[in-house]
Chains A and B, each alone.
Chain A
């Protein structure tokens, strides 16, 4: 597990063996992690995995049963949410409907001791930061989803918190708007340099936005890694399946020194390194994971130096820019999914056609 924060960053949040019980229900089961200053950190998992509970515990809305949450080295036990250097963007945005945009954004400045002019200036700057300069006196309920999101961001960031907590902030937006806001959030985070902690169930969103991602299942962190490592070297089948698509092929493994020799059903012999076994050394019966884009179909007239296997097309799913093929390799029990970019020279194969598949042992991940 990659528990180190990004290089050169002092941890701003330290989670030490955090447990949370709701009656008999064990919602958080020993969460330990360090989150660096200025890091974009994501808590990713299916609903009910405890990610929102953890976020709310950091904000102070939930007491933890045992363990400790340290913010800049200070134990947050017993510190109420209004005294914590964190601010939150709620899933529903929680824009105050009886106030204008400017009053919403300036809400947190009430106790700041700034005079009227300074407050107005701060509100103006915050609105400019999220691209809502012309919306000062607009009634809050007259805003679109994306605009509400921006008001919620400006309102939270105006207090210059040490950590900004985002609870599924994009889930209420449509797909186009979500993609726009993803990019804007990344830019904003780089600009302000504040630590962002994002809760999401959308693996794509987490991969796009985060410096590091903690994948959570049933109240535990299953894997904490940078997006690329998480995708390429998931440490369990469950993480592999939760993030993107992973093909699993039956295999048997034998380790000799620094080399692991595999006999993979449908593909044949392969040699991999221990680095490709993120779950630890494996021997005997095991399964090999391959992402759909690491496999490739060799079309007529194309040549490849990569290793080849053969199979029958089982299913074709056409996506416009991509085509997904399910191919049953000779000697394998289940079909593998292969994603191919659609280019002019490539026809779309039909179900039942025979296909040659190229593969690379370096893309393999070994699981128990």
Chain B
């Protein structure tokens, strides 16, 4: 194998990108409170400490509740928007769809601050539901993007054929549309779940006294003695995110194969 300039560049680039992540599990299993080489020896102590920290378990519970709710809400909204975008023409269609996709390019800090201002002005208390609202806002564009792909892959005469064969529009959606976009729905659920789970800025601004996992984690960084526990937590989060992404892609690919369609892109 020849080491050309471009190849070296690619390797250096990947190392730069992923080496810090490898440090996470390395120090999570390191028997010492100081994050520095040389390593002190192997321990799973930080993981057991982790499990014993009540505030942490509570934060995890909050995060999971938010992530699941957001995934379902954003995917439902994405499903409606994607179907409408793929099947109908209506006035100001591209404007409306563009508006839905806008949070994708909007800095999260702006979304977070403006949501906080609105909440305070309206006299609403911040907490889980306000985080959910913020996360749905930023996750819906992802859901729309994924599901638009699913609808674009689907021959529109399939729905017409089902109606022609005697089904109502609603039973057609259930019998034909839904099974064919299921891979997209699952992928969308998983990706929205992942985005919500490790989203920090919105959660930080809107969490009130119900911190999510990333917010709790950030709080712990102030205590050097707690750092290895944070590393352990980070390890679990990274592993979870990777597993979910792989799962989402697997489901999407399998769905395409079952429907006999060509792969036209994806995330992994």
Give the tally of cross-chain contacts (CB within 8 A): 64
Interface positions, chain B 47-89, Cβ under 8 Å from A, are none
Instruction: Using A90-B160, A96-B158, A96-B176 as known contacts, say yes or no to A108 and B166 having CB atoms under 8 A apart.
Output: yes
Q: Name B259's closest neighbour in chain A (CB-CB).
A: A97
Which one of B164, B180, B258 has the greatest number of beta carbons of chain A within 10 Å?
B164
Taken together as a complex, chains A and B put the C-alpha atoms of A148 and B259 apart, in Å, by 14
> Number of contact residues on A: which range applies?
20 to 34
Which chain A residue shows the least CB distance to B255?
A98
Q: Say yes or no: is A111 at the interface (Cβ < 8 Å to chain B).
A: yes
Contact residues in A for B179 (Cβ distance below 8 Å): 98
A92 touches B165 (CB 8 A): no
Encoded as 1 (CB less than 8 Å from any B CB) or 0, chain A from 95 to 136 comes to 011100000000110110000000000000000000000000
Interface residues of A in 132-158 (CB under 8 A from B): 139-142, 155-156
In the assembled complex, B168 has its CB within 8 A of some CB on chain A: yes
Least distance between A13 CB and chain B CB atoms (Å):
16
Distance between Cα atoms of A140 and B259 in the complex (Å): 9
Q: Considering the chains assembled together, what is the distance between the CA atoms of A110 and B258 in angstroms?
A: 23
When each residue 180-192 of chain A gets 1 if its CB lies under 8 Å from chain B and 0 otherwise, what string results?
0000000000000
Q: Say yes or no: A90-B157 contact (C-beta < 8 A), given A97-B259, A107-B162, A141-B259.
A: yes
Residues of B within 8 A of A59 (CB): 164
Residues of B within 8 A of A299 (CB): none
Measured between C-beta atoms, what is the minimum distance from A130 to chain B in Å?
Answer: 16
| C-alpha gap A272/B165 in the complex (Å) | 53
Residues of A within 8 A of B260 (CB): 97, 139-142
**A98 in contact with B166 given A90-B157, A92-B157 (CB within 8 Å):** no
**How many chain B residues touch the partner (CB < 8 A)?**
19
Q: Which B residues from 157 to 192 make CB contacts under 8 A with A?
A: 157-158, 160-168, 176, 179-180
Is the CB–CB distance between B259 and A94 below 8 Å? no
Closest to B165 in A: A108
Q: Whose C-beta in chain A lies nearest to the C-beta of B155?
A: A92
Q: Which of A58-97 contact B (CB under 8 A)?
A: 59, 61, 80-82, 86-88, 90-92, 94, 96-97
Chain A residue nearest in CB terms to B158: A94
Complex alpha-carbon distance, A87 and B165, angstroms: 7
Distance in Å: Cβ of B151 to nearest Cβ of chain A: 14
| B-side contacts of A309, CB under 8 Å | none
* A88 and B164 form a contact (CB under 8 A): yes
CA distance A114 to B164 in the complex (A): 19
Residue of chain A at shortest CB distance from B178: A98
Question: How far, in angstroms, from A55 to B160 measured CA to CA in the complex?
Answer: 13
Given the contacts A97-B259, A98-B259, A142-B260, A159 and B165 also touching, CB distance less than 8 Å: yes
Q: Contact between A82 and B157 (Cβ–Cβ < 8 Å)?
A: no
Closest 7 CB pairs of A and B: A141-B260, A108-B165, A94-B161, A94-B157, A97-B259, A90-B157, A98-B179
A-B contact pairs, 15 of them (CB 8 A): A86-B164, A88-B160, A90-B161, A91-B157, A94-B161, A96-B176, A97-B180, A97-B258, A97-B261, A107-B165, A108-B166, A111-B166, A111-B167, A156-B164, A159-B166
New A-B contacts (4) at CB < 8 Å, excluding given A94-B158, A96-B176, A156-B165: A61-B160, A92-B155, A94-B157, A141-B260
Q: Which residues of B contact A (CB under 8 A)?
A: 155, 157-158, 160-168, 176, 179-180, 258-261
